[in-house]
C-alpha cells in the first residue's frame, strides 16, 4: 500500500491523481489532501477518500471545511497555512 499526499487536490492534476487512486484502492490510500480555497470540492474529496489530514490556505477556510466534513470524515484533521503543510 502506498500512502499519497495530493497537493492541489481540487485542480486538474489532483483530479487525475485521485481518479487513479479510486481505480486502484488496493494499491493507494490518501494520507493528505491540500487545496487553496475550493473548500466545497475539498470537503467532497475528504468524504470520499477519508484522508488523515486536509490542508487549506487560511483559517477561515479551515473552519468551514471542518464544519462540512465533521460527520462524514471525523478522523480527518483540518490544518491551514504554511504550518499546516
pLDDT digits (tens, 9 = 90+) for 54-63: 999 999 999 9
Spatial separation of the C-alpha atoms in residues 18 and 21, rounded to whole Å: 5
Query: Which CATH code for domain 2-84?
Result: 3.40.50.720
* Angle between helix 39-49 and 59-69 (nearest 10): 40
pTM of the shown model: 0.92
Domain layout of the chain by residue ranges: 2-84
As a whole number, mean pLDDT of residues 19-36 equals 97
Lowest mean pLDDT among 43-47, 54-58, 81-85: 81-85
DSSP string, 17-47: HHHHHHH-TTTEEEEEEE-SS-HHHHHHHHH
**pLDDT bracket for residue 85 (50, 70, 90):** confident
Q: Point out which residues pair with 51 in neighbouring strands.
A: none
Amino acid at each position: 500500500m502506498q500512502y499519497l499526499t495530493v497537493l492541489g487536490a481540487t485542480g486538474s492534476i489532483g483530479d487525475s491523481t485521485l481518479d487513479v487512486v479510486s481505480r486502484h484502492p488496493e494499491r493507494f490510500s490518501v494520507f493528505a489532501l491540500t487545496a487553496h480555497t475550493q473548500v466545497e470540492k475539498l470537503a467532497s474529496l475528504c468524504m470520499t477518500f477519508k484522508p488523515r489530514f486536509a490542508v487549506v490556505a487560511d483559517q477561515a477556510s479551515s473552519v468551514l471545511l471542518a464544519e462540512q466534513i465533521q460527520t462524514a470524515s471525523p478522523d480527518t484533521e483540518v490544518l491551514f497555512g504554511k504550518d499546516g503543510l
